[in-house]
Amino acid sequence: TEFDLAVRGGTVVTAASKMTCDVGIKDGEIVALAKQLGPAARDIDAAGKLVLPGGIEGHCHIEQKSSSGLMTSDDFKSATISAAFGGNTTVIPFAAQHRGDSLRKTVEDYHACAAPKSVIDYAYHLIVSDPTPEVLGQELPALIKDGFTSFKVYMTYDALRLDDRQMLEVLSTARREGALVMVHAENHEMIRWLTEKLVDRNNVEPKYHAVSHSRLGESEATHRAIALAQLVDTPLLIVHVSSEEATSEIRKAQDQGLKIYGETCPQYLFLTVEDLDKQGMEGAKFCCSPPPRDVQAQEAVWRGLQNGTFQVFSSDHSPYSFDEKGKLSAGPNPPFPKIANGVPGIELRMPLLFSEGVRKGRIDIHKFVEVTSTNVARLYGLFPRKGTIAIGADADLAIWDPDLERTVRYADLHDLAGYTPYEGKKITGWPTTVVNRGRIVVSENTLQVEPGSGEFLARESSEFAAPLGQLAPETDPARNFGAQIL
């Protein structure tokens, strides 16, 4: 037979096109797109279904150990299975450096966890928390050359945060080496000050977590991160944007032609601070940073997706169980500063956006594909191997039943957080069959592959990470009396 697998008669959708045709797959790649392809060893009937590029989860925390020793509740097995059931074929979690640790060793540790357990393809962003001359001079450049072409930095959290000076060093290293920098932008001292005031007054219930992480703290840090990036002419992705204020900062920079990108997440479209104000400790289940805000913020974030301010939509899956191993590790009634930050969402990211976005007419199906897959591949150096349906691309497909209605129940999900923030929500449109490099990973509601069958992806430097070539007056030798700064 000509093909190993043929997906027949579906509506094949990419970020830019839609056609009813068959997809022919051989040796893990897409080799033919046409009507009525010849025989294949195996067929999937996709009539009446959508055939989309597999989702790429570009922001998730898997088997990540915090500096305090707390572990996320998913390992690479449960997280990648959960991702696959949610229509994903690739995940890009973080390899998080702890201060004093070597970056290379950090990556090797994550690799030892991921390789035997992943059911779909994977890569890692680095988290750089200790930008010593050794790390910036040798380790990071070497890792970027090895295909770790993106990394995240934090402007808050005592154990992770970089000061402005360190941000500049890191950004100029990224510029030189061709990596994309992702930033957690919140003003550290504003969080600390508000937290102290709240704790002094014994305002310690989960809802005060949202008060301590202000919109102004988010937009100030966003503005500052953009200014730092602009000074050294380096592109920057602001991750997990929650508010109208931060969204406008990103938009303003984009309107100036800067290569500033934005990411948002389901928690900013589908949750609000009211969820943190639930009975007893229930609100802890919704504590994440930045926090969910209000209905106006949700609308601003929707607009940002619609008008292209946000290039990518990620889950920021940071699962902590609602018990002493996770959210309640500091006791049964922890004050908000002691509640682990993060919500699970890797399996529902795409179904939520499909149901509330595509089905309800807020975004079209092409935009859906763009922000959940194509742009993720582009930003992180995986395109066009990943992120689209084209001849020569990996055969990564999610076949969706656009009319399937299901009510979210944690019991039906595959992660190990023990709860979902979206319990009881009605969702229309679910992936029913998921194919990764030609392997049927999920079908008939069943996992069809073994742990360890996912592949590590070394990534290229992305076009999105290339400097604009527009120097600030003070770093431009033509305007700074000839000083060579960059």
Distance CA 464, CA 127 (A): 19
What string marks each residue from 11 to 50 as x (binds ligand DUC by CB under 6 A) or -?
A: ----------------------------------------
Span of 33-41, 90-98, 197-205, 470-478 interacting with Zn ion by CB under 5 A = 90-98
Considering the complex, state which of residue 341 and residue 432 has its C-beta at the smaller distance from ligand DUC.
341
| Contact pattern for ligand DUC over residues 169 through 198, marking x by CB under 6 A | ---------------x--------------
The least distance separating Zn ion from the CB of residue 61, rounded to whole angstroms, comes to 6
Residue 101 in contact with Zn ion, rule: CB under 5 A:
yes
What does the alpha-carbon distance between residue 291 and residue 271 come to, in Å, rounded to a whole number? Answer: 9
Which region among 47-55, 176-184, 243-251, 466-474 touches Zn ion (by CB under 5 A)?
Answer: 176-184
Return the number of the residue (178 or 206) whose C-beta is nearest ligand DUC. 206
Of 102, 341, 432, 480, the one binding ligand DUC (CB under 6 A) is 341
Q: Which is nearer to ligand DUC, 160 or 232 (CB)?
A: 160
Q: Of 157, 149, 178, which Cα lies nearest the Cα of 221?
A: 157
Whole-number minimum distance, CB 40 to Zn ion, in Å? Answer: 40
Minimum CB separation of residue 317 from ligand DUC in Å reads 9
Q: Which is nearer to Zn ion, 84 or 343 (CB)?
A: 343
- When computed from its CA atoms, the radius of gyration of the chain, rounded to whole angstroms, is 22
Say which entry of ligand DUC, Zn ion, none residue 263 contacts (CB below 5 to 8 A, set by partner kind).
none
Nearer to Zn ion, 192 or 359 (CB): 192
Query: In the bound complex, which residue of the shown chain has the CB atom lying closest to Zn ion?
Result: 98
What, of Zn ion, ligand DUC, none, does residue 288 touch, CB below 5 to 8 Å by kind?
A: ligand DUC
Choose the contact partner of 101 out of ligand DUC, Zn ion, none; CB within 5 to 8 A by kind: Zn ion
Least distance in angstroms from the C-beta of 31 to ligand DUC: 38
Out of 275, 316, 356, 370, the residue judged to bind Zn ion by CB under 5 A: 316
342 or 454: whose CB is closer to ligand DUC? Answer: 342
Among candidate residues 443, 441, 423, the one with its CA nearest the CA of residue 433: 443
Selected binder of ligand DUC within 215, 240, 385, 439 (CB under 6 A): 240
Residue number with CB closer to ligand DUC (5 or 417): 417
Residue (143 or 238) nearer to ligand DUC, CB: 238
Q: Tell me how far, at minimum, the Cβ of 183 lies from Zn ion, in Å.
A: 8
The residue (of 240 and 414) whose beta carbon lies closer to ligand DUC is 240
Give a three-class secondary structure readout of the chain: CCEEEEEEEEEEECCCCEEEEEEEEECCEEEEEECCCCCEEEEEECCCCEEEECEEEEEECCCCECCCCCECCCCHHHHHHHHHHCCEEEEEEEEECCCCCCHHHHHHHHHHHHCCCCCCEECCEEECCCCCHHHHHHHHHHHHHCCCCEEEEECCCCCCECCHHHHHHHHHHHHHHCCEEEEECCCHHHHHHHHHHHHHCCCCCCHHHHHHCCHHHHHHHHHHHHHHHHHCCCCEEECCCCCHHHHHHHHHHHHCCCCEEEEECHHHHHCCHHHHCCCCCHHHHHCCCCCCCCHHHHHHHHHHHHCCCCCEECCCECCCCCCCCCCCCCCCCCCHHHCCCCECCCCCHHHHHHHHHHCCCCCCHHHHHHHHHHHHHHHCCCCCCCCCCCCCCECCEEEEEEEEEEECCHHHCCCCCCCCCCCCCEEEEEEEEEEECCEEEEECCEECCCCCCCCECCCCCCHHHCCCCCCCHHHCCCCCCCCCCC
Residue count at the site for ligand DUC (CB under 6 A)? 8
x/- mask, ligand DUC, residues 279-298, rule CB under 6 A, reads ---------xx---------
Any idea of the CA torsion for 346, 351, 356, 361, to the nearest 10 degrees?
A: 130
98 binds, among Zn ion, ligand DUC, none (CB under 5 to 8 A by kind): Zn ion
Q: Which of 19, 98, 193, 274 forms a contact with Zn ion (CB under 5 A)? A: 98
Q: Give residues in contact with ligand DUC (CB under 6 A).
A: 184, 240, 288-289, 316, 318, 341-342
Which positions lie near Zn ion, rule CB under 5 A? 98, 101, 184, 316
